[in-house]
Amino acid sequence: MYCHHCGKKRTDDAIYCSQCGRLLATDEDSAANAGAERTLVLLETAASIETDRGNKRAAISMDTRKRGAKGSLWAWLLPIILALVTAGSVFGYYIYQAGINDSVIKLQAEAKSAALAGRYDEAQALLKEAAEARPAFAAVQKDAEIVAIAAELSQSVTAAAKLLEEQKLAEAEQTIEKAGNELDGHTEPIFTRVKEQLDNYSVKLGVMKLTVELADAKTVDELAAKLNVAKHLEGEEAAAVREQIVAKIVDISLKEAESLLKKKNYSDALDAASKGLTYAKDNPKLAELEKKITEARADYEKDEQQRLEQAMQQAAAEDLKNQTAAVEVIQIDSTLDEFGDLNIAGELKNAATRPIYSITVKFIVYDAEGNEVGSGTAVASPDYVEPGEKITFTSTVYGVYVENTTVVVDHATWYLD
């Protein structure tokens, strides 16, 4: 057997030519080439016989030699003509097979586009057509298997969506979990669409489960656990649930703090208010109640024995400072990068008389005319700071695109040790 590209002899089981490296002909091509080789051998044999006869005729007479020479010429031309015709046929067959290969590759590309767009039935039909044209094409078979898996997973996701609509959360969770397990290990681009759909329905399931469980949550700790779960969910629905949980935490904290305040249990009342502020830092009602409790406790302490009045007032003043002015701004630097984003680095100090931790600052960015062009929140480090020690924070406000900006710390929160 010979390579139909370069003519080098090859083994029967070879797929690529060892001389030129090109794809060798299929079994059908090999059969055609073998026929062509047999034709050439027969033609060469016939040419040899005709040559011998021409030589014998040349030995008889001069006239016979002339006629023999003429006949010998035709004997040489005829095999050449037949060889050219055969070669043309073989080349034409090669072109035909190459056309089939091109068609299969085109079908494969179209199937890929359809699959990436979620048109799995169309992709499977195209791959079936390609497989019928080239049954031994392993790449087409592999693509067909992957598309079949993606189509099956897509059906599972659709089923999960229907179960969610019907409020069948347990069944939907099983379906989503099963589809997720089947999706593990598949990193091909065709599964991106299915993965996004599955992630969306997973978030929706989590939101629906939290909504149901919220009715049974009666304490701040229980709600805090639900809030921690909600923080790992993305999307508008998850954000709405988080707001609902925080609102419920605020409501419970207010009721507990007010009840303790009436009993003059100021410490526990402050703890209840502060605990609520942990999850709703900017809530005005809790902040106002915390201030009210602090003032009530100060008034109560003020009415204590005369000998303790000064000490108690000093303690209250220190506590008020620690509660309201523990974080002092030393300096803030900002740099506008080439993308129009403002990179901010600030230095703070613990101005309290006690160690503080979990410091968070809220800042506002103003342009040269005093217009607000951005804002943000940053967590300072280190997390635990002794009195007088410095703290730093960094943050980036994207899309500012303004030179000569001023960054102002508008608000800071912390916890006292």
Position 15 scores a pLDDT of: 58
Instruction: Please check whether residues 275 and 195 belong to one and the same domain.
Output: no
Instruction: Please check whether residues 316 and 254 belong to one and the same domain.
Output: yes
Has residue 88 been placed in a domain? yes
Could you give the number of structural domains in the chain? 4
Give residues with Cβ within 8 angstroms of 185, minimum separation 6: none
Position 63 scores a pLDDT of: 53
Phi, psi of 342 (to 5 degrees): -100, 115
Has residue 95 been placed in a domain? yes
Instruction: Please check whether residues 274 and 337 belong to one and the same domain.
Output: no
Instruction: Please check whether residues 55 and 126 belong to one and the same domain.
Output: yes
Has residue 405 been placed in a domain? yes
- What average pLDDT values come out for the chain (417 residues) when binned by 10 residues? 55 58 50 36 36 46 51 68 63 57 77 80 79 75 80 82 80 82 80 81 79 77 82 78 84 88 87 87 87 86 73 76 88 92 94 92 93 93 93 93 91 90
The Cα 112–Cα 99 span in angstroms is 20
SS (H, E, C) the chain: CECCCCCCECCCCCCECCCCCCECCCHHHHHHHHHHHHHHHHHHHHHHHHHHHHHHHHHHCHHHHHHHHHHHHHHHHHHHHHHHHHHHHHHHHHHHHHHHHHHHHHHHHHHHHHHHCCCHHHHHHHHHHHHHHCCCCHHHHHHHHHHHHHHHHHHHHHHHHHHHHCCCHHHHHHHHHHHHHHHCCCCCHHHHHHHHHHHHHHHHHHHHHHHHHHCCCCCHHHHHHHHHHHCCCCCHHHHHHHHHHHHHHHHHHHHHHHHHHHCCCHHHHHHHHHHHHHHCCCCHHHHHHHHHHHHHHHHHHHCCCHHHHHHHHHHHHHHHHHHHCCEEEEEEEEEECCCCCEEEEEEEEECCCCCEEEEEEEEEEECCCCCEEEEEEEECECCEECCCCEEEEEEEECCCCCCCCEEEEEEEEEEEC
How far CA 57 is from CA of 67, 171, 373, in Å, comes to 8, 97, 108
The Cα 133–Cα 155 span in angstroms is 29
The Cα 333–Cα 363 span in angstroms is 12
Give residues with Cβ within 8 angstroms of 144, minimum separation 6: 124, 127, 128, 131
Domain C-terminal end among 211, 233, 253:
211
Instruction: Please check whether residues 129 and 33 belong to one and the same domain.
Output: yes
Position 375 scores a pLDDT of: 93
The Cα 144–Cα 131 span in angstroms is 9
Instruction: Please check whether residues 184 and 239 belong to one and the same domain.
Output: no
Domain C-terminal end among 166, 188, 211:
211
Give residues with Cβ within 8 angstroms of 138, minimum separation 6: none
Give the domain CATH number at 371. Answer: 2.60.40.10
Position 7 scores a pLDDT of: 52
CA atoms within 13 A on the CB side of 39: 18
Instruction: Please check whether residues 122 and 34 belong to one and the same domain.
Output: yes
Has residue 235 been placed in a domain? yes
Domain C-terminal end among 133, 161, 180:
133
Has residue 72 been placed in a domain? yes
Position 49 scores a pLDDT of: 36
Instruction: Please check whether residues 175 and 230 belong to one and the same domain.
Output: no
| Beta-bridge partner residues of 342 | 336, 397
Instruction: Please check whether residues 281 and 334 belong to one and the same domain.
Output: no
Has residue 306 been placed in a domain? yes
Q: Is the separation of the CB atoms in 293 and 269 below 8 Å? A: yes
Tokens of residue 395, six digits: 């943050």
Tokens of residue 193, six digits: 């669409």
Has residue 9 been placed in a domain? no
Has residue 14 been placed in a domain? no
Instruction: Please check whether residues 412 and 337 belong to one and the same domain.
Output: yes
Instruction: Please check whether residues 117 and 89 belong to one and the same domain.
Output: yes
Q: Is the separation of the CB atoms in 235 and 203 below 8 Å? A: yes
Tokens of residue 232, six digits: 């790992």
Q: Provide the phi-psi class of 358: left if phi over 0, else alpha when psi is between -120 and 50, else beta.
A: left
Tokens of residue 135, six digits: 């049954």
The Cα 292–Cα 391 span in angstroms is 30
Phi, psi of 363 (to 5 degrees): -125, 160
For residue 207, the enclosing domain spans: 138-211
Instruction: Please check whether residues 344 and 315 belong to one and the same domain.
Output: no
Position 229 scores a pLDDT of: 81
